[in-house]
Amino acid sequence: MSTKTNERPGTKAQVRYLRMSASKARVVLNLIRDKHVSEASQILVFSERLAAKEIHKVLRSAVANAEHNDEIPAEELYVSACYADEGPTLKRFRPRARGRAGRIHKQTCHVTVVVSRLSTDELDRLREKTSGRGSAASDAAAKRRERVAASRGEDAAAEAEEEAVEAADDAATDEATDSGATEATAAAATAAAVDAGADDAADDAADDAADATAESESEATSDTIDSDGDGEVNATDQSPYGDGSHALIDGDPDQMPDGFPVKGNADSKLYHNEDSPFYGRTKAEVWFASDEAAEAAGFSKPESQQKKEAAAEEGEAE
């Protein structure tokens, strides 16, 4: 509700019993006195003092009172008066030694903000200033738009020129490629017509050679043989890697066939004899009669064992 004061014309708003001293509130009030309400609001928003938040609420309340009750636009208002009066002091105490008590005074204050309408001359100056800023800002924006448009036009022209050059180069390349392809096609057709019979014979010979090569490669890459003659290489073959090898007995990796003490691992292609440190924890996938039989089947000793034996041989040689 707006209230007219006797000594200060305008619309006021007040907060009572604010829990801070009047001296602290007056420091902030001195910053907004005689300022336009928009400028005063900005000052309070960016102020770091705790009183600024409460005073900003009072200012907004005064502006709302003027707009709704007195029908004065906020653009025509300024802070005509603002002051802080002392409020009652709340007395508290703090326990001290020997049963004594220290006094604590919690001060309060009453803050009042009065807003009034600007005079006609001040309103005219404010409108001129605002219009000048607006025109200057609009001119700057127009110039900026012109610069952007000019820059975009130059970029578009440069891109169009580059595209035209690329199109010409592509056309020339296509013509050269077409002419070369036509000549090559004609030559190939002529050669094909002349050598049609020779090509058929050569194709048959190439097919036979490819079949023979595939068979030889299949035989060379096969690591196992069909020892039981069933047409398949599988776990039932008693000698899956030729002479000197033996398949698992009933699929048990721990059951050693008689005369086949060497364990082999089909995945890693490593074998372990009884001297190998890995012999005990290795699960056999195939058994060999000797190291020579394992190596003949393409298996090898672990690298660590090979190094150990090589070092032992060098020591003996020394």
Looking up tokens 């000052």 gives 43
pLDDT tier for residue 218 given thresholds of 50, 70 and 90:
very low
pLDDT score of 220: 39
pLDDT exceeds 70 at position 304: yes
pLDDT exceeds 70 at position 181: no
pLDDT digits (tens, 9 = 90+) for 247-301: 888 888 888 888 888 888 888 888 888 888 888 888 888 888 888 888 888 888 8
b/e map 79-102, b = 16+ CB within 10 Å:
bbbbbbeebeeeeeeeeeeeeeee
**Residue predicted with more confidence, 229 or 119:** 119
Distances (CA, A) of 204 to 191, 197, 216, 218, 306: 19, 11, 19, 21, 49
pLDDT digits (tens, 9 = 90+) for 30-84: 999 999 999 999 999 999 999 999 999 999 999 999 999 999 999 999 999 999 9
pLDDT score of 294: 85
Distance CA 44, CA 30 (A): 11
Query: With contact defined as beta carbons under 8 Å apart, do 264 and 294 qualify?
Result: yes
pLDDT tier for residue 217 given thresholds of 50, 70 and 90:
very low
Q: Which residues contact 113 (CB under 8 A, 6 or more apart)?
A: 12, 13, 14, 29, 55, 58, 59, 61, 62, 79, 81, 82
pLDDT score of 209: 55
pLDDT score of 198: 47
pTM above 0.75, yes or no: no
By percentage, how much of the chain surpasses pLDDT 90? 34
pLDDT exceeds 60 at position 199: no
pLDDT score of 18: 96
